[in-house]
Amino acid sequence: MIEFSLDSRSGVAPYQQVVQQVRQALRLGLLGKGDRLPTVKDVVASLAINPNTVLKAYRELEHEGLVAARPGVGTFVTRSLSDGSLAAHEPLRRDLRRWLTAARTAGLDEESIEALFVSTFRAAEEKTA
Amino acid sequence: MSAILRAQGLGKRYRRRWALADCTLEVPPGHVTGLVGPNGAGKTTLLSLAVGMMSPTTGAIEVCGGRPAADAAQLAKVGFVAQDTPTYPTLTVAEHLRLGARLNPAWDDALARARIAQLGLDTAQRAGKLSGGQRAQLALTLGLAKRPQLLVLDEPVASLDPLARREFLQSLMEAVAEFELSVILSSHVVSDLERVCDHLVVLVDSTVRVTGEVETLLATHHRLSGPRREPHTLPADQQLISGSATDRQSTFVVRTDAPILDPAWTVSRLGLEDLVLAYLQRSNQPAPVLAAASAAGPTLLAVRR
Amino acid sequence: MIWLTWRQFRAQALVVAAAAVAMVTVLAATGARVARLGREPTTVYEQLTRADRNLFFAGIVIMAVAPAVIGAFWGATLVAKEVEAGTHRLAWNQSVTRTRWLATKLTVVVASVAAVVGVLTFAVTWWSEPLDGAQSQTHGNLPARLTPVSFAMRGIVPVGYAVLAVVLAVAIGAVLRRSVAAIALALAVVTFLQIAAALWVRPHLAPPVVRTVVLSLGTLDGIAVNGSGKVLHITARTNAPGAWVLSNRTVDAGGHAATIPSWFDTCLPPPGVGVVREEKSDLGSCLRRLTDEGYRQRVEYQPADRFWTLQLRETALLLLGSGLVTGFCFWWTRHRIS
């Protein structure tokens, strides 16, 4: 089971935040096929958000084919996003840590590191697109 | 689906002053509707009319298909948690539940007891000794266990500390998820409502300024900033909500269904709070005059809260 | 709804009930002796102890005050306290219309006040009956039950005042929305009504008996004289024991109210101070001369046997007034409170 959290200053609509968090959990292997998502009531009770927000997020996930609702039982994960790639996560994370250490020793502060990463990431994406 | 609340030319006058004027409004069922506006805008008056605590001076209001508080059956359809969540200080928590059970034919005693247990309230405690948050929860329990179709709450969290506020809204949302209840709640603090409401009514100076689904409102309102220009030069399909300016720069909040194509503008999304504030600003300056710019920075329009 | 009404009302109800039980106990304990004394009507006054007389007057005072006080305290809080605390917004949003809410509350409180005051007035009326109007030949007497001193403190009239006090206090509380102010104002209004009823209403509830009396030593009751020897007025005897005398006036031959002719002042024997009771031969001739000149004494009174007639009529009036005020309470609660 996963727990959601909302950042009200992110500018991202709450339902999209829920969708993103489910996707991320699927990618990171926190959620796998057959796992049950928290019930709408549980999400609502912990986040104090409108139930329609959660329903909308779950509907979108269903539409994407990631989950399926079984009436009266709950919403279950039908597909995992982590297949195959999950094994590669650990070495990649190690590389990234090494890179971060290198960046710090080079004198970059946190903001500069983030800026460098984001701009490189965007530039790379534009090239592939 | 027919509206859970329908007001037609609704007005209420106290002696000389109109607390609410010419209010025409439809609130769809199945939503959590936030009623926002500054203090004194008429929120309590509108909600009091909706639950039948008072009768309108002009116009008509229909709630759950009937005239508010017309009879016992109508009263059973609508729950009300009044401002400052009144309870009887000398009655215990258990006696409040008994009161609810005696006075409401559809009373859900299991729900009431489960909620009280979940909140950890001592049933032998007198309501006068409860904290503000506990009292609000007790009042909410009474409103929910009555099993209404519509629950109306007037500034339910205004006097609560942040934790109690959060817990109250959690309880409320949990009940909405469980019972498919329609809710109308008022607040003068938009951030309280941001997560819980999916429908919004903005009330300023006794009149309804804007109403609609939160998502639609957020999608159709934009903040434009760019080089200084006069508001009347905006395209006709962009309705100006508020504006401010320095000698070089203009910032406008506009409402439009069409995409904004003018490349001179930097377009940004509005949060719910900014959106409501834009309407409040407009009320202060019905036709924003963007002269008298100060060199020091943007002219901030005063916001009445 | 009855449960809630009782739960909110029980503390004040129990206090009053306890006081009423205490009072009834005292009256029951002493009542038998007073009833025994009452069998000798001619000597009853002489046999009374100071405690008996104190209790007699205490009964009058309590029955004068209790209906107004109980009514005001119970009635004033009924709506006003809810509005003060905002709890009317809780109560009126249960599945009970506010008309039914008020009807239940009023029924319980009015029935309670009628019951308590009913028991009190029954006990006091029973206890005082042998003593009401007791006369002594030598020193003083006790007021008859028809006179304003004790009429509204006997029989069923106190219940009428209690009911009126409750509904008035409810109405005033609903309008003022302040329970303490409502108690004070309701007390003032009921007290005023009690006085006004005795002065202006009760005398006319039944047409009084009018008798014209020829003044003589046998019919003379008293002559009031001021400090300089001027005769102010003369009173005649009614020969109606226990009656409530409304007026006792000297009239001239034409039947019009008259001032006493000035020759009468000098005719009177000295030392004309206060009320003259002694038989004097020349007083008799003075009275004869008055009669010869056409002066008569006109006495208007309510005879003692009208007691229950007047009680019923005054109570009916009070209940009618209570009904009107109750109607106002419903109207105001429905339309003017939010």
pLDDT at B30: 92
User: What average pLDDT score do residues B250-272 get?
Assistant: 87
Cα–Cα distance measured from residue C15 to residue C73, given in angstroms and rounded to the nearest whole number: 12
Among A44-53, A113-122, B144-153, B256-265, top mean pLDDT goes to: B144-153
How many C-beta atoms surround the C-beta of residue B169 within 10 A? Answer: 24
Does B297 have pLDDT greater than 50? no
pLDDT score of B292: 36
Count CB-CB contacts under 10 A for residue C311: 20
Query: What was the pLDDT predicted at B298?
Result: 37
Residues B242/B288, Cβ–Cβ less than 8 Å:
yes
Query: What's the rounded mean pLDDT across residues B116-130?
Result: 94
CB B74 within 8 A of CB B67: yes
Nearest to B102 among C1, C8, C89 (CB): C1
Q: Give pLDDT tens digits for C145-179.
A: 999 999 999 999 999 999 999 999 999 999 999 99
Structure tokens at C155: 């029989």
Cβ-defined contact of B173 to A48 (cutoff 8 Å): yes
Mean predicted lDDT score pLDDT of chain B: 88
**Mean pLDDT score of chain C, rounded to an integer?**
91
CB C144 within 8 A of CB C243: yes
Mutation target among B115, B151, B168, B174 for the A interface, most CBs of A within 10 A? B174
The 10s digit of each residue's pLDDT in C45-97 is: 888 888 999 999 999 999 999 999 999 999 999 999 999 999 999 999 999 99
Using the beta-carbon criterion (under 8 Å), do A48 and B269 form an inter-chain contact?
no
Question: Which of A15, A52, A75 is the best residue to mutate to test the B interface, defined by the most B CB atoms within 10 Å of its own CB?
Answer: A52
Task: List pLDDT tens digits, range B49-80.
Answer: 999 999 999 999 999 999 999 999 999 999 99
Kindly provide the ipTM of the predicted complex, given to two decimals: 0.86
| Mean pLDDT in residue range C122-135 | 91
Q: How many CB atoms lie within 10 A of CB C316?
A: 13
Residue among C7, C89, C95 whose CB faces B75 most closely: C95
A43: pLDDT strictly greater than 80: yes
Which of A6, A13, A50 lies nearest to residue B173, judging by beta carbons? A50
Residue B299 pLDDT > 60: no
- pLDDT category at B305 given cuts 50, 70, 90 is very low
Q: Provide the 8-state DSSP code for B129.
A: G
pLDDT at C76: 95
Contact between C8 and C179 under an 8 Å Cβ cutoff? The reply is no
Count of B-C CB contacts under 8 Å: 71
pLDDT above 70: percentage of residues in chain B: 92
Minimum Cα–Cα distance from B198: chain A residue: A50
CA distance B125 to B136: 15
Mean pLDDT to the nearest integer, C102-122: 97
Task: Please write the tens of the pLDDT for every residue from B178-234.
Answer: 988 999 999 988 888 888 999 999 998 888 999 999 989 999 999 998 888 888 888
Lowest-confidence pick of A95-99, C195-199, C282-286:
C282-286
Closest CA to B82 of B54, B104, B108, B62: B54
| Average pLDDT over every residue of B92-107 | 96
**Could you tell me the sign of the dihedral formed by the alpha carbons of B81, B86, B89, B91, in that order?**
negative
DSSP state of B300: P
Q: Is the pLDDT of residue C218 over 80?
A: yes
Q: Helix (H, G, I), strand (E, B), or coil: what is residue A101?
A: helix
Say whether pLDDT at B264 is over 70: yes
Closest CA to B61 of B5, B1, B2: B5
What confidence tier does C255 reach under pLDDT thresholds 50, 70, 90? Answer: confident
- Band the pLDDT of C271: cuts 50, 70, 90: low
**Residues C179, C180, C186, C189, CA torsion sign:** negative
Chain B touched by C22 (CB under 8 Å): no
- Identity of the amino acid at A53: T
> Which residues of B fall within a CB distance of 8 Å from C92?
53, 69
* B300 compared with A31, residue with greater pLDDT: A31
Residues above pLDDT 90, as percent of chain C = 68
Does residue C1 belong to the interface with chain B, where contact is any CB pair within 8 Å? yes
Lowest mean pLDDT among C127-141, C204-218, C262-276: C262-276
Residues of A in contact with B151 (CB under 8 A): none
Q: Per residue in C322-338, pLDDT tens?
A: 999 999 999 999 999 98
- B69 → chain C, closest CA residue: C97
* Chains C and A lie in contact, requiring 3 or more CB pairs less than 8 Å apart: no
Terminal-to-terminal C-alpha distance of chain C: 20
Strand locations in chain B (E) = 5-14, 17-27, 32-36, 58-63, 78-81, 150-153, 182-187, 199-204, 207-213, 221-227, 239-245, 249-255, 266-269
CB contact under 8 A, C7 and B91: yes
Q: How far is B132 from chain C (nearest CA, A)?
A: 15
Question: Of chain A residues 48-67, which have a CB less than 8 A from chain B?
Answer: 48-54
Segment holding C220, helix H or strand E: strand C220-225
Q: Fill in the DSSP letter of residue A63.
A: H
